[in-house]
Structure formats: C-alpha cells, structure tokens
Amino acid sequence: ASVRSSTSLFAFTPASPSDPFRIGTRGSPLALAQAYETRKRLIEKFPELAEEGALEICVMKTQGDMILDKSLMELGGKGLFTKELDTALLNNEVDICVHSMKDVPTWLPDKTVLPCNLPREDTNDAFIAGDGSVKSIADLPDNSVIGTASLRRQAQLLAKNPTFKCVNFRGNVQTRLRKLDDGVVDATLLAIAGLKRMDMDGCATSVLEWDEMLPAVAQGAIGIQCRDDDERSLAYIGALNHPDTKACVDCERAFLGALDGNCKTPIAGQARIVNGEMLFRGLIAMPDGSELYETSASGSIGDAVDMGRKAGEELKARVGDKFFEMMVEMSPQLAPGQVTTK
C-alpha cells in the first residue's frame, strides 16, 4: 500500500469504486502496525484489494501526538488522538480510520459509526523495571519513580504504595523505553497488546493480572470507524468484525459512558467471555489512590451494553456526588505525587 502524510485536511469528492480505499491512521509505530494489520486482513477477505494502488494508508498527526510535555489530563482528554482523524473522515479524505479503542471517546461524531473491532489482543498491562532484580510492583522500594501518563495506573499504584512518585510519561513506546534505560524513572507500565503488535513483548519484566492492575476500558482492541452512509466501507470492515471482541468492548464503553469517564477520571473496566457468559469487572478511584471502588457483573453476551451501563450506574450511585465533586477539584492540577518530565 502507498503511504502519504497529511497535516492539513481538504474536502474530497465521493470515491468511485475504482478509487483507492484509504485507511486513516496516526503515525506512531504502534498505530502504523495496527493500520497494516487492518490492511492485511482486508486483503485476506477481499483479494482484489491486493492490486497495486487499491489500498492507501494515510498518516496524520494529531494534537495528542504533537504535545508531549503535558499530561492528557491537562490537555483535555483522549479525544486529542482522534479529532484530526474524525475531521479527515467527515471531509472524505479517508474512507476508514483505525484506532486503539482505548483512545476513542464514548461518543462518536455525527455521521460516523464504529461497527468493527478486530480480534482482541491480550488486555493486560506489562510491568517494565529498569533494575533487573525488581520483578513486580511489590518489589519496588518506597519512593520509587514510575513513569505513566495514565491516571488509571497511577491511582492503582498509589493505592498499593502511597510513597510512589508517578511522573507524566508520554511519547511512543520506543521513547518511553529509552527514558527507562536512561534512568529517568525506575519502572513503567505499558499495554502488553501494543508491545506484542510490535514484537517487543520480550522487554516486559512481567505481565500484570487483573488483581494487580485492572486494565483500561477497551485496552488491547483495535476499532475501525467509517461514515454511516459509506456502503463500500461498511461492507469491507463489517467482514472483519470479531463479534466477541465487539461485545466486550461495547460493555466496557457503556460502563465508561455511564460514569462520564475521561482522562481526568481514573476508571478501569474489563469484560471477558467465559463458557458463553460475559463477566465484567470495573473500578473508579481518586487520582491519589486514597479511595478506590470496585464492581462486578455477569450475564448474557446479548445484554453486554445493558450490563456495562448498569454496572456504571451502580458504581456512580455508590460513590456519591461528593466523590465526583472532589474529583473536579483535583482534576485541574496534577494529582498529589505526580510530576511532569519531558
């Protein structure tokens, strides 16, 4: 597939069937790996797309990629990773957009849909330590410095050990690992899914189970978005959808939506299907780890969205309005213990 970059967006005339099928993506190594995985699956399902010029990968810079010296909380949320792609899609500069689902807000722009999730990778977090003698979070000494841009991870880390110092740690995977090697931090956490997609999972010290670190909503899932009236795109990506993955992701996103969650709110949520039944776990916490509330649910796969929504509503009612008032007071600034490093 040909690749082109874009930082400015233009309106295009509607594509004809002979026009290239254009895949929109961010330019990070992980995003490109996901775009090429989508390309590979499209060609497997539709051999005509293997012809020269039939597929085009369009690389775009997002605001979230360009501003790395501030936390996502300060910048306003993960929509910063999707806004430019949304605009390109609506302006018909691309036909589909490939996303890490955990970066996608629970709302989608009008006239767009996200009907496809590829088969999900391992959802867990990887723990990576700079000191070879440290094998787990529990092995880290008091006052250890841990690199993470995620309030979800920070809250769960500080709930385990309030002496930890969490520093804003952004950039692509390679940049973060280089900072770890340079001794900027003592350890970091990354999604094992991203490491696997780049054949870098060997750098993980350990993979954390849910009891150690509950993953982010939709972690490990790739989503594909298109315009709601684009029959060609709907047909192509509809054939790639993995129903079990989509059911789990829909459950998790319904949970997040019920809590009005964003990057200013430490929320985790995971669904899995076991013996034909959907099992869900979720939590919400204060950024400093001082309060952490959990919930769980189980039921039919067909009730996935309803299950996630009810779990979110139940947890929201249980923590009460005061919890969210405290969250609003804390969110404009970095949580206690968190500092920023470039």
CA 33 to centroid of chain Cα atoms: 15
To which residue do tokens 């010296």 refer? 69
Rounded Cα–Cα distance for residues 271 and 279 (Å): 5
Rounded Cα–Cα distance for residues 79 and 260 (Å): 14
Q: Is 229 helix (H, G, I), strand (E, B) or coil?
A: coil
Helical segments of the chain, H only: 29-45, 63-66, 72-75, 83-90, 151-160, 173-181, 192-197, 231-238, 243-258, 304-330
Please confirm, yes or no, whether 103 is among the known catalytic residues: yes
In order of 54, 69, 254, the CA distances from 257 in angstroms are: 37, 28, 5
> What is the b/e burial string over 291-303, where b = at least 16 CB atoms within 10 angstroms of the residue's CB?
ebeebebeeebee
Contact present, 187 and 109 (Cβ < 8 Å): no
Write down the catalytic residue from 86, 103, 186, 230. Answer: 103
φ/ψ of 7, rounded to 5, equals: -120, -15
Residues with catalytic annotation?
103
